[in-house]
Chains A and B, each alone.
Chain A
Amino acid sequence: MSVDVAALSTNGHTSYIDFQGKHKGVLGWLLSTDHKRIGILYLIAILTFFAVGVTIGFFMRLELIAPGKTIMNPQTYNSLFTLHGVIMIFLFVIPGIPAIFGNFFLPILIGAKDVAFPRLNLFSWYLYIFGALLAVLSILLPGGPADTGWTFYIPYSVRTGTNVLLALFAAFVLGFSSILTGLNFVTTVHRLRAPGMGWFKMPLSVWSLYATAWVQILATPIIGITLLLVVIERVFGVGLFDPALGGDPVLYQHLFWIYSHPAVYIMILPAMGVVSEIIPVFAQRTIFGYKFIAYSSIAIALFGSLVWAHHMFTAGMSNTGQFIFSLLTMIVAIPSAIKVFNWTATLYKGSIWVTPPLLYVLAFIFLFSIGGLTGIMQGVLSIDIHVHDTSFIVAHFHYVMFGGTGFGIFAAFHYWFPKMFGRMYNIKTAKAAFWFLFIGFNLLYFPMFIMGWLGMPRRYYDYLPEYQPFHLISTVGSWILIVGLIIMFANLIYALKKGKVTAEKNPWGGETLEWKVDTPPIHENFHTIPIVTERPYEYKNNDLILNQEVK
């Protein structure tokens, strides 16, 4: 780590960056159990794999700019979409906010010195790296990268000669990184809150990380076992899932989706937590409906665990199954809708400062709404029969996972950057990057809704000429999006080295505990553990001056 960052906070204490512990230099980071350093380790690893995933996406879209072969053959394309899914889902979106910002800020937000199990935390990072390396190995070794799609459906995944076993092991190992992080966070929230911080005095991002952590603990083991069973099926031909051996391919789908649907709530809940943090700050007023947002997080985690078979509406389930899963899918949308309404209401009579974090949050609300509403469409049985396995679905999940979680991550970067690094980035450049991202994103994904409804299937290397106009717009959108990503990251990386040094504790006017600690924080976070007396987002100033509160 040779980033040149301001070393001392205003009162002369050493930041977590310059802290000298048992180990020196790079080892001081690779063997650190400081949650903040671990958060930075995850940041570097996760962004590296995000870059790989984006690059793969770029080449996929380049192939699809015209019918027929453009730059690659079908086998390559099939492996690329598999890798794109595996990398983006397991190495970027699922760990994303919890591993980077949860690790860095959860203890600070609750007034603690670290998480409950700091060594387990470091171990989780090593599991992530090990799993990631296994995935990389699966690309490089003979056999070639897996070409099954990230869903590994049987029988194809036990027939293909590609490196499926390595990919399965990679996902298995990564799952443990997620489970242990979840365990760590649940324990931390229960046991390490500062004196006075009751549950309803916790910041909403903590509620989100907490709900997420439960899903990580309870759901991930299921995919772990399932992937292991696929390995066993592939190696020993047991016949659990393979119909040629008397097995049930639909059973595999149930086991796969019982994790992979809750997984999407692991992806979105932390991003929703970020949104709940950012809006009150830049509206300089209290959040609207704190308890409703908090309870909605729990409801989303709970109901989200009951809807998995909506991924299987064409698989041939019983009428009862179809009925129940469709009904529950409609219900799970409601708590998310409640959050969207409460966020919008938080802007009402605010004093709004439009900064890059707020821009990303406003975009989140718009893009997540589109993703969520199209999710509701897919929960409607007769509609889903038609759009299942088309690019409509691809558009939907990119709107929620990228427009939602992705933009949530970008918001978190721009919000917490000054606190993490003691530097400020260029605001104008950040805003320019935002517009490239927003416009590029919509051009890239919206046409997929239309062509999906018109019958364009997904995971298609080639397509009928009538779909080309949509694919062309989409590919051009991907270029604009990538320009935005480059500008955004270049701006932030430049700021790390050359940005204005700041020791300002509270540049944005926030009221949660991270804005009371040093910039960057010291090793132990707090000079003295705070005693919490207020609810978060009180903004008492507003009441004092106006001398009245609208209830």
Chain B
Amino acid sequence: MFDGASNFIEKVDGAFLFTIIVSVFFLVLITVLMLVFVFKYNRKRHPKAVNVHSNVWLEVTWTVIPTILVLIMFWYGWIGYAEMRAIPENSMQVEVTAQMWKWTFKYENGLQTDTLYVPVNKPVKLKMTSRDVNHAFYIPAFRIKKDVYPARDRFAWFQADKIGSYDIACAEYCGLNHSYMYSKIHVLSEQDFNGWLQKK
């Protein structure tokens, strides 16, 4: 995990942490058991094996417990995702256009830029479309990503909670300069943002 800067960090990183802990637990358990058995029951040390055919209670246990755990992980993931779909009514809208190989942002007052400026602690809604092929709008620091298609709109939203500058990357292969389709999002204080927005 690294520091994030949006309202989604808590649920996303929380789900990730929980899943990692459970995963590491089972990985270590299996690995240690494997290694212990291979050493303890090595043919030189344990020349005669014992035929343990099955144990239904064991099978039930190691089916039910993992099922419960994955269902918890599922739920944690679902509520984190549902938040990403619940776009607040009062969001400031920015139109995003993707094309090979750059991003363009257009504000409600008509201002057009190639870097995204937003005010801190205010919900921002992105209305996204592509001029040519598939792209995807990705801000790693905010944990958001959405595919962007031609001839239709896709939406995403976020609320930045830290002033600073963060990378915007394209995350859907789009040809020759896919890896150069970077932009930046600058999170400003509300005052600085309003000041910037006026400069048409």
**For the complex, what is the distance from the CA of A74 to the CA of B58, rounded to whole Å?**
53
Interface pair B66/A337, CB less than 8 Å apart: yes
In the complex, whether A517 has a CB less than 8 A from a CB of chain B is: no
In the complex, which residues of chain B have a beta carbon less than 8 angstroms from the beta carbon of A366? Answer: 27, 30-31, 34
> Which chain A residues border B172 with CB–CB below 8 Å?
153, 389
Bound complex: CA A351 to CA B51 (Å): 10
Instruction: Mark A347-366 against chain B: 1 for CB-CB distance below 8 A, else 0.
Output: 11111111000000010011
Closest chain-B Cβ to A402's Cβ sits at a distance in Å of: 18
Let me know if B15 is at the binding interface, CB within 8 A: yes
Are B179 and A463 in contact, CB atoms less than 8 angstroms apart? yes
Interface pick from B79-87, B107-115, B192-200: B79-87
Known A337-B62, A376-B19; contact A350-B41, beta-carbon cutoff 8 A? yes
B129 (CB) vs chain A CBs: closest residue: A243
Residue total for B at the interface (Cβ-Cβ under 8 A): 81
Contact B23 A243 (CB under 8 A): no
Closest to B151 in A: A243
CA–CA, A369 to B172, complex, Å? 28
A435 CA to B179 CA in the complex, in Å? 35
Within B143-164, the residues touching A (CB, 8 Å) are 143-147, 149-152, 154
Q: Knowing A376-B23, A382-B76, A386-B143, say if A349 contacts B52 (CB, 8 Å).
A: yes
Smallest Cβ-Cβ distance to A284: which chain B residue: B49
Whether A156 contacts B134 in the complex (CB less than 8 A), given A369-B26, A382-B11, A543-B51, comes out as yes
Once bound together, how far apart are the Cα atoms of A216 and B81, in whole Å?
34
* A550 close to B134 (CB less than 8 A): no
Q: Are A344 and B151 closer than 8 Å at their CB atoms?
A: no
A365 partner residues in chain B, CB cutoff 8 A? 30, 34
Q: Tell me if B191 counts as interface (CB < 8 A to partner A).
A: no
Closest to B154 in A: A316
- A349 partner, pick from B41, B43, B132, beta carbons under 8 A: B41
Contacts of B178 on A, CB cut-off 8 Å? 78, 459-461
Residue of B nearest to A462 (CB): B179
Contacts of B37 in A (CB 8 A): 344, 347-348, 350, 352
- Chain A residues packing against B (C-beta within 8 Å): 74-75, 78, 147-149, 153, 155-156, 159-160, 243-244, 246, 249-250, 283-286, 288-292, 314-316, 319, 322-323, 326-327, 330-331, 333-334, 337-338, 340-342, 344-345, 347-354, 362, 365-366, 369-370, 373-374, 376-377, 379-386, 388-390, 453-455, 457-464, 538-539, 542-543, 545-546, 549-551
User: Which positions in B face A, CB cutoff 8 Å?
Assistant: 1-2, 8, 11-12, 15-16, 19-20, 23, 26-27, 30-31, 33-34, 37-38, 41-43, 46-55, 58-59, 62-63, 66-67, 70-71, 73-74, 76-82, 84-85, 132-134, 136, 138, 140-141, 143-147, 149-152, 154, 167, 169-180, 182
